[in-house]
């Protein structure tokens, strides 16, 4: 067992940019927190792993090629490996608990 005390807590980068912190990486799963300040720009690229976002705090719009959805505290979103996605219209500091399976970065680069 491992208790992850800081998971899902807002932690921006010192320069105010988005920030990703890895909390756990095992053979089959990784967990991290992605923080984007209000008005910030989500600069991520598609990932080669499936991922689940759980919104801990904040509000934004998640945009994928064929749809968009408002997300806020309690929203849970699945994004399949390789799918382009970005958070836009970030009106409140956005904190996302992120689960990757397999662990982040273990499949190489994603195709977009």
pLDDT number for residue 51? 96
Which residue, 75, 76, 97, is CA-closest to 10? Answer: 97
Domains in the chain: boundaries:
19-101
- Residue-wise pLDDT for 22-62, tens only, equals 999 999 999 999 999 999 999 888 989 999 999 999 999 99
- Residue-wise pLDDT for 58-99, tens only, equals 999 999 999 999 999 999 999 999 999 999 999 999 999 999
- Residue 109: pLDDT band (50, 70, 90) is low
53: β partners: 77, 98
pLDDT number for residue 70? 98
Q: Which fold has domain 19-101?
A: Jelly Rolls (2.60.120)
Which residues, at least 6 apart from 105, have a Cβ–Cβ distance to it below 8 Å?
48, 49
């Amino acid at each position: 067992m491992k208790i992850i005390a800081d998971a899902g807590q807002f932690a921006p980068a010192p320069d105010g940019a988005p920030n990703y912190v890895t909390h756990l990486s095992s053979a089959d799963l990784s967990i991290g927190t992605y923080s984007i300040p209000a008005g910030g720009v989500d600069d991520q690229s598609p990932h080669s792993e499936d991922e689940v976002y759980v919104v801990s705090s904040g509000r934004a719009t998640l945009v994928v090629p064929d749809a968009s959805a408002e997300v806020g505290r309690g929203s849970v979103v699945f994004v399949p490996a390789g799918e382009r996605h970005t958070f836009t219209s970030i009106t409140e500091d956005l904190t996302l608990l992120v689960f990757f399976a397999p662990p982040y970065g273990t499949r190489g680069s994603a195709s977009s």
